[in-house]
A and B are shown apart, each in its own frame.
Chain A
Amino acid sequence: MKEGLRKLLLGLAVDAIRRPAPKPLRPGERERIVPDGPPEPRGELLALALLGFGTVCAIAFVAVYVTDRIPNQTQFLGLSLGLALTSFAAALIVTAKKLIVTEELEEDYPAEEHPEEQQLVVQTVHDSGSRLTRRTLFKLGLGTAGGALGVALLTPLASLGPVIDMDPFYGTPWKGGRRLVDENGRPWRAGDIEEKDFYTAFPEGADREQLGSAVVVIRLAASDFKLPKEIAAYPAHGIAAFSKICTHAGCAISLYRTPLFPPYDPAPALVCPCHYSTFDPATGGTVTFGPAGRKLPMLPLYVDGKGHLRAAGNFDEPVGPSWWGVRLRKPSP
């Protein structure tokens, strides 16, 4: 019994491994399409070994997946699946290079053109329209109707957003008397604001994600300001606030360059880290370097009886990136 099983297994294994002898060409058999080549037993074994390794890796992937939360699981998953795929790929490349006859055949490129067929197409179209008498008018009618239908079909797209009403682009939550609060909603005091540092403030109780909300607050020596007349009164006790949104591409201005070492950092500057637009707070936020095309909007401030910072009105310029109408209006006070 045992002997018989062993013989059967051995026989199966031999059958699986050995190559069947090539059959002799029988009389009347067709000529080959793909030419024959010599056998490559080593290439076959290599391809099989690669497929075997790929199988092991694929099983390993399943095992790693099932194992609950081993350290570096992502790495092991990637390694096992990646190796499974690449060894399968390698087996196929070995097949292509060693086990298959590489034929280099030639044939004609397709015809450059088919003048006869072209003629028939043109004629078919031409003949089909012979019953029409007012051709130009008919084409005009088709064009007009098609255009009108196209416009009609596109009209619902206007529901996507406010197309004509540009008011939201000018709006900000700031108005005279509104307190400046920090990220946790605590009001900023004038005494909190120190030179060579910068702070983010929001209008009390407003939506912070709105572009017109966030401001950066800095303090300069009062004598450092060189502001034009219109905004000369905007700072309060040397404290100035600017929109935090860069007028170039709308990123948050999160760099403050202070002159720690004057030859290297010539003057205090607010810098946007996206495209390095650089604004001078001393002159009211004018652009000193980089691509921004407009000055940084400045917010007028005052300090109330309790020492809290409050807005004295709205920004002097529209907030955020520019568009065609950006210079037509100022934010409403």
Chain B
Amino acid sequence: MIRKLVRFLDQRTGTAPIARKTLRYLFPDHWSFLLGEVALYCFIVLVVTGTYLALFYTDSTADVVYHGSYVPLQGQHMTEAYRSVLDISFKVKAGLLIRQTHHWAADVFVAAIFLHLLRIFFTGAYRKPREVTYWLGVTILTVTLLEGYLGYSLADDLLSGMGLAIGNAVALSIPFVGANLGALIWGGPFPGTHAFFARMYIAHVFLIPALIAVLLTAHLVLVALKHHTQFKKSPRETERKIVGVPTFPGQTPRSLGLMLGVAGILVLLGGLVQINPIWEWGPFHTYVSTNGAQPDWYLGWLIGALRLMPSWDWTVGDYTLVPNPFWGGALFPMIVFAFLYLWPWLERKLTGDHAFHNLADRPRDAPLRTAVGFGVFTWVMLIFMAGASDRVFVFLGIGYQTQIWFYRVAIFTLPFLAAYVAYRVCVELEAGERVEHDVEAATREAKTERLLRPEEEPL
């Protein structure tokens, strides 16, 4: 049976040599190498659930009156888009399950990419010859943030409308061209024309997923061409020799198991843990907003940055050079992503290391990188936390303005402290290892000597 299939395929495609090599392609083994895989499986779940949702969603902003089964909204004016998402939640059988699974998958997708990025960064896996793989990965992250934001916006409930208003303000705040760009995207001033939702929809369900798929393919092809990095777990792993489990039989059931496991957990979350109950927020109108609004977690750093910025537009005479939302909503993420894109080059400049690297570092092996990375991480995390200060006020009663002032100072001081601490910890850990190593060597030596001269053995 298998012999027949292989023969059939080889005769028609000539791929038996490639298949044979692929089956024995080696995967170095470490739990942290699975984070990227988790992201990949989330993407698959997103495409499957998203396609299902697209079969029911309507991208129209036409005004309709709700007569569905959810009583509190009956008789209310809303857009057709919002009504279609309500219907997916209440009318379509299994619709709510798929919608919530889709939303959970998006949140876990970005989380997995983020953790994958941290792993790549702190182990130096982005170094030559894998910079392009890394840049593709960082690009996938930027595109994914936009994709998640668009999906969240398409529901057209109150929170998604508020998110769009903020997105519009950030677009408008781009120096020299902001309003023109905003007018292009929205078809005019906010809330824009009816065409805007159609534009968002095609971007969310086709343009951006296709772009992610292309970037992802390129990312994986490059990983395969250059092989995965590995940790030095034994003397067998070197810069030239890779040690790992072959695709078949070793890796295949693991990867398939992980895929089904990720899908299973996302479906369990989608069925059992409520996420974004859009019927509770109600329809969006430009003149309505709600207190305590928070975006999906992966935009928390941007809301934090927008909130921390003091009241300041940069103006020259009557010309507004930089309106305020630009600082937190555009410049801040641009700085973070510029750092991520430039870091491999920056590190080469700082360390003069132009060599090929197939062995991944442990964070302590490169104190400078770990310190810089931890400093930047602390900076972004503080700003992320600042985005939650209104919730902290509600739950803990610490004054909102007090917190904002604390963060305004902290983001310029604590990252340096964090970097210094990280550096010291790395250096101390390394020193400790050296001492341990020396003690071991000395003990071994002493033992050997004793073996040679047994008459000196103390009683």
- A, B from the same assembly: yes
Interface residues of A (CB under 8 A from B): 34, 65, 73-79, 81-93, 95-96, 100-110, 112, 157-158, 160-164, 166, 168-169, 200, 202, 208-211, 213-214, 244-245, 248-255, 272-277, 287, 289-294, 320-328
A84 to B177, CA, bound (A): 52
Q: Is B184 an interface residue (CB 8 A)?
A: yes
Interface residues of B in 261-319 (CB under 8 A from A): 261, 263-272, 285-293, 303, 306-313, 315, 318-319
Chain B 374-409: CB-based contact to A (< 8 A → 1; otherwise 0) = 000000000000000010000000001100100000
Asked if A324 contacts B178 (CB within 8 A), the reply is yes
Report how many residues on chain B are interfacial, defined by Cβ distance under 8 Å. Answer: 103
The interface centre, meaning the residue of A213, A248, A294 with most chain B CB atoms within 10 A of its CB, is: A248
Q: Is B12 an interface residue (CB 8 A)?
A: no
Q: Is B94 an interface residue (CB 8 A)?
A: yes
A93 to B225, CA, bound (A): 27
Segment of B118-126, B246-254, B331-339, B438-446 engaged in the interface with chain A: B246-254
Q: Is B144 an interface residue (CB 8 A)?
A: no
Query: Across the interface, which residues of A come within 8 angstroms of B4, CB to CB?
Result: none
Q: Is B242 an interface residue (CB 8 A)?
A: yes
Closest 4 CB pairs of A and B: A78-B271, A85-B264, A293-B313, A82-B268
Asked if A112 contacts B289 (CB within 8 A), the reply is no
Query: Across the interface, which residues of A come within 8 angstroms of B75, CB to CB?
Result: none
Q: Is B418 an interface residue (CB 8 A)?
A: no
Asked if B286 contacts A104 (CB within 8 A), the reply is no
Asked if B182 contacts A323 (CB within 8 A), the reply is yes
A101 to B251, CA, bound (A): 11
Query: Across the interface, which residues of A come within 8 angstroms of B307, CB to CB?
Result: 275-276, 290-291
A87 to B268, CA, bound (A): 12
Distance (whole angstroms) from the CB of B392 to the closest CB of chain A? 13
- If A110-B225, A321-B325, A324-B319 touch, whether A166 touches B179 (CB-CB below 8 Å) is yes
Asked if B260 contacts A161 (CB within 8 A), the reply is no
- If A251-B165, A274-B293 touch, whether A291 touches B309 (CB-CB below 8 Å) is yes
Query: Across the interface, which residues of B come within 8 angstroms of A93, CB to CB?
Result: 253-254, 257, 261
The interface centre, meaning the residue of B170, B175, B180, B195 with most chain A CB atoms within 10 A of its CB, is: B180
Distance (whole angstroms) from the CB of B198 to the closest CB of chain A? 11
A86 to B257, CA, bound (A): 8
Q: Is B324 an interface residue (CB 8 A)?
A: yes
Segment of B204-212, B233-241, B341-349, B420-428 engaged in the interface with chain A: B233-241
Asked if A74 contacts B271 (CB within 8 A), the reply is yes
Interface residues of B (CB under 8 A from A): 24, 26, 29, 93-94, 96-97, 100-101, 129, 162, 165-166, 168-170, 172-173, 175-180, 182-191, 193, 195, 199, 225-227, 236, 239-246, 249-250, 253-254, 256-261, 263-272, 285-293, 303, 306-313, 315, 318-321, 323-325, 328-329, 356, 358, 390, 400-401, 404
Query: Across the interface, which residues of B come within 8 angstroms of A273, CB to CB?
Result: 289-293, 390
Asked if B286 contacts A105 (CB within 8 A), the reply is no
**Which of B189, B249, B308, B320 interacts with A325 by CB under 8 Å?**
B320
Query: Across the interface, which residues of A come within 8 angstroms of B288, CB to CB?
Result: 252, 254
A79 to B270, CA, bound (A): 9
Distance (whole angstroms) from the CB of B69 to the closest CB of chain A? 10
A34 to B245, CA, bound (A): 12
Asked if A248 contacts B267 (CB within 8 A), the reply is no
Query: Across the interface, which residues of A come within 8 angstroms of B311, CB to CB?
Result: 277, 287, 289-293
**Which of B189, B226, B328 interacts with A320 by CB under 8 Å?**
B189
Asked if A213 contacts B287 (CB within 8 A), the reply is yes
A34 to B190, CA, bound (A): 64
Asked if A78 contacts B268 (CB within 8 A), the reply is yes
Query: Across the interface, which residues of B come within 8 angstroms of A277, CB to CB?
Result: 311
Asked if B245 contacts A104 (CB within 8 A), the reply is yes
- If A79-B272, A294-B313 touch, whether A249 touches B241 (CB-CB below 8 Å) is no
A121 to B175, CA, bound (A): 44
Query: Across the interface, which residues of B come within 8 angstroms of A92, CB to CB?
Result: 253-254, 256-257, 260
A290 to B386, CA, bound (A): 13
A178 to B36, CA, bound (A): 59
- If A214-B286, A291-B328 touch, whether A251 touches B166 (CB-CB below 8 Å) is yes
Distance (whole angstroms) from the CB of B277 to the closest CB of chain A? 12
Shortest Cβ distance from B303 into A: residue: A275
Query: Across the interface, which residues of B come within 8 angstroms of A95, CB to CB?
Result: 253, 257
Distance (whole angstroms) from the CB of B6 to the closest CB of chain A? 14
Given A290-B311, A293-B324, output 11 extra A-B contacts at Cβ < 8 Å: A82-B267, A88-B260, A92-B253, A102-B250, A104-B245, A105-B245, A109-B226, A161-B183, A320-B190, A325-B179, A328-B318
Asked if A77 contacts B172 (CB within 8 A), the reply is no
Shortest Cβ distance from B227 into A: residue: A109
A92 to B258, CA, bound (A): 9
Query: Across the interface, which residues of B come within 8 angstroms of A275, CB to CB?
Result: 303, 306-307
Distance (whole angstroms) from the CB of A82 to the closest CB of chain B? 3
Asked if B267 contacts A244 (CB within 8 A), the reply is no
